[in-house]
Amino acid sequence: KAGVTQTPRYLIKTRGQQVTLSCSPISGHRSVSWYQQTPGQGLQFLFEYFSETQRNKGNFPGRFSGRQFSNSRSEMNVSTLELGDSALYLCASSVGQGNEKLFFGSGTQLSVL
């Protein structure tokens, strides 16, 4: 069974640009959640999608958005990039029933210059 796949693995952008990250969940998983990881801040929850609908949302500005497709693949978009957006962005998939194991991808390391 293939794991959670995130692309690209690394990204370098400049301030003001926008970026799109992709996440392919484990087959059969309908929930995809996104996290921002920075040193000392742990895993900050961005949003969660289930069956193409945003089911939960964290406390991030509207520049951060996402979507989920009918095959459960998800994309995350960040517009008008700021230096502080530099981080590792992780996605995680699960069946979507709640209170269950999350399977994480390897992440996309975003650097904003």
Partner 1 sequence: GENVEQHPSTLSVQEGDSAVIKCTYSDSASNYFPWYKQELGKRPQLIIDIRSNVGEKKDQRIAVTLNKTAKHFSLHITETQPEDSAVYFCAASSGGSYIPTFGRGTSLIVHP
What residues line the site for partner 1 (CB under 8 A)?
A: 4, 31, 33, 40-43, 45, 48, 50, 55-56, 90, 96-102, 104-107
Which residue number, 53 or 70, has a Cβ lying nearer to partner 1?
A: 53
Which residue number, 24 or 33, has a Cβ lying nearer to partner 1?
A: 33
Which residue number, 70 or 99, has a Cβ lying nearer to partner 1?
A: 99
- The CA distance from 38 to 88, in Å, is 7
Amino acid at 38: T
Joined together, the tokens standing for residue 3 give 């794991």
Q: Are 91 and 4 in contact (CB under 8 A)?
A: yes
**Residue 33 C-beta: closest distance to partner 1, Å:** 6
- The CA distance from 33 to 82, in Å, is 22
**Residue 92 C-beta: closest distance to partner 1, Å:** 8
